[in-house]
Amino acid sequence: MLTLKENMCLSADKLGQDEKKELREFTDWILSIKNGEIFDLTFQGEWNASLVKIPSALLLDPGINPIAIIMSVIYPGIDNDNIEASYFRERAIVTLKNDIINEINNLILDCLPKVKCIYLSINNICKSFGDNKNIDLLYPVKFINQLNFNNVSSYALSLKIETPIILLRNINPLAGLCNGTRLIVTQLVERVIEAQIITGSNIGSYVFILGIVFSINDGRCPFTIK
């Protein structure tokens, strides 16, 4: 088993001494929680190690839009023209739910100065010999377009040039196009997206991303979507 011996963030040359101190204190606090060394909140008179008091400096004002505040901290100056690729490579906002992801994406996209381009997916139900002949009437395309699934972009994908994107499928591993690869959009045309890779072993390479047909099998639906 590998053990982390050094906090690499603290060794970054571009960090000042105050920033390194602040980051070190935060990481020490996180590790203390992980190691069960902090138990500063009680619940119904009983000690419970899972209840930890969050420092006030890390809390957001409940009267302020939390997503807008987080975005302003993680992406300062995002509305400037000609942002370098390293700007997006070093930043990310992580969340779990698709509706929050869409809200963050739309908020960031509106801040970027370029013209918005919207790509619509072409969704339909895979028909088999056992399917009802009236399946298109039971599950119209308008209904399918409203569904959201894990690791699948929404029906309407809005992009701008210089937008950061991330791949959700392995397309061409040899070219660096793998699940999780991050890129910057450089050109948008009707059926093709040109982008520059900003992570992995192919940083700087320009690639073309075409439309992809794949099947979605989800336990919530009695059918397979293509």
What pLDDT digit, counting tens, does each position of 142-172 carry?
Answer: 888 888 777 777 888 899 998 899 998 898 9
Q: Tokens representing 140? A: 């119209």
Question: What pLDDT score does 128 carry?
Answer: 65
Q: CA–CA separation, 127 vs 13, rounded Å?
A: 58
Question: What pLDDT score does 207 carry?
Answer: 95
Q: What are phi and psi of 129, to 5 degrees?
A: -65, -25
CB neighbour list of residue 167: distance below 8 Å, 6 or more residues apart: 177, 178, 179, 180, 181, 182, 183, 209
Question: What pLDDT score does 14 carry?
Answer: 65
pTM of the entire predicted model: 0.70
Question: What pLDDT score does 148 carry?
Answer: 79
Question: What pLDDT score does 152 carry?
Answer: 78
Low-confidence ranges of the chain (pLDDT < 70): 1-14, 39-50, 128-133
Question: What pLDDT score does 181 carry?
Answer: 94
